Amino acid sequence: MPTFSIPVTYQIRVPRNPYSRIRRHLTADVAASAFDTSGRLRQLGRCILDTGCSTTVMSATGARLLDIPFPTDDPQELTLNTANGAVRSTVYDGELKLQFDACPGHTFRLFCLFSENHMPAAPILLGLHDLIEVFRVTFDGTRSPGSELGRVTFATHP
């Protein structure tokens, strides 16, 4: 059963809202590659685990630049609720075939919305709905060197 673990990291940010008390910004990200139309692995860089995102999202422009296949015959106009508010976007419903650097040799299929409004250089957002269909995701707040706020473990379902 393929399993891998990534640290939860944080940055201290000054909030835009002077009444906000949240200053620590938590992140759990993992490097991944996706298969292109020729079957070669293309490095995607960091993918961010976004527990507030229900579906995995990738830039449609970024996918085109990397030759990542996705269906373009049935675009949908959706309002996506993002951390920056509601954004109207053209999206294509498809899937990504990924290999995570932390789990070499194993390929995972995640459903994905390829968004025309997602910036090409923006990291892929790994949505919770897709992940829990493929993985059992466990958050462990035990502190250790290199993971001061704990770790997130991904284990495939038996």
CB burial readout 58-89, b (16+ within 10 A) else e: bbbbbbeebebbbeeeeeeeeebebeeeeeeb
pLDDT in tens, the chain (158 residues): 788 888 887 666 666 776 666 666 667 889 999 999 999 999 998 898 888 888 899 999 999 999 999 999 989 998 887 777 788 899 999 999 999 999 999 999 999 999 998 889 889 999 888 788 889 888 898 988 888 888 989 998 87
Q: What is the CATH number of the domain that holds 38?
A: 2.40.70.10
Minimal CA–CA distance to 138: which of 112, 158, 156? 156
Give yes or no for a contact between 100 and 30, defined as CB atoms under 8 angstroms apart: yes
Domain that holds residue 99: 3-156
pTM beyond 0.75: the answer is yes
Query: How many domains are contained in the chain?
Result: 1
Minimal CA–CA distance to 23: which of 12, 31, 32? 12
